[in-house]
Copies of this chain bind each other. A is one copy, B any other.
Amino acid sequence: MGLSPVAGGSTVDAVLEQLQAQVSDGSWAVGARIPAELDLAAQLGVSRPAVREAIRALSHVGVLEVRRGDGTYVRSSADPRPLLRRVARASARDVFEVQLAYDVQAARLAARRRTGDDLARLEDLLRARDEATEPDAFGAADARFHLGVAEASRNPLLIEAMRFFLGRLHESMRAIRLDREVPEAGPARHRAVLDAIAAGDPQAAATAAAAVVEPTLATLDTLLATPKPGHDKQPDHDTRPDHDTRLGKSAG
């Protein structure tokens, strides 16, 4: 597959797409150096800034790696764009289900790998969660406990994935104004997770973690199916949600 001069739409987007295609289909192997910016600009019939913007975007997501004075190299052949698109448009429910997957796996791994320090830290986090009353503070404490479990799993990728999706989830919930209406699971269920982790029982930990989130997910479905009156009003100024959270459309 070769490169061809770009046609319509956005120039930079077209360039980006062609570069990503070269990487995805293996024309440019992982580890290989791609042509210089000026060469690419010439081959594509665009200016150098256009090529640079495309390379910068691909570099930011880890597909390319730029080494000043040397050249630009392929770092990963996996195309992150479909996932990025989905993450941007995902409904709160979809994010919640992914988050549940992380929670269960984190608990399972934590049960096998947790240290004494981990347990002490988790105890602190759970206590802080129990003592929090104000909604925002409680939400933050709850997230910190879940993250604490992930940290005990000793899997940095899982930790960061969970951190990101927790933030994304919080965002989605706020967008549809359910962040204060969806009841959280009580202290008992969280205690069960910690106990299973302390006991070193992966299976029990996984089950307990699922039990923490499942009820909330069920409640979320109920709320989405029958929105409460007086809370479906659209924000009337500067906010531009419109990138459908695919939830409140029934009320429109």
Chain A positions near chain B (C-beta within 8 angstroms): 2-5, 12, 16, 22, 27-35, 39, 43, 49, 52-54, 56-62, 65, 71, 73, 75-80, 82-88, 90, 94-95, 97-98, 100-102, 104-105, 109, 153, 155-161, 163-164, 167-168, 171, 175, 236-243, 245-252
* Copies of chain A in the complex: 2
Contact B241 A73 (CB under 8 A): yes
Contact B71 A241 (CB under 8 A): yes
**In the complex, what distance in Å separates the CA atom of A201 from the CA atom of B64?**
43
Complex interface: chain B residues within 8 A of A2 (CB): 247-251
Complex interface: chain B residues within 8 A of A61 (CB): 60-61, 84
**In the complex, what distance in Å separates the CA atom of A136 from the CA atom of B39?**
34
CB distance from A72 to the nearest CB of B (A): 10
* Nearest-neighbor residue (CB-CB) of A1 within chain B: B247
Complex interface: chain B residues within 8 A of A238 (CB): 31-33, 73
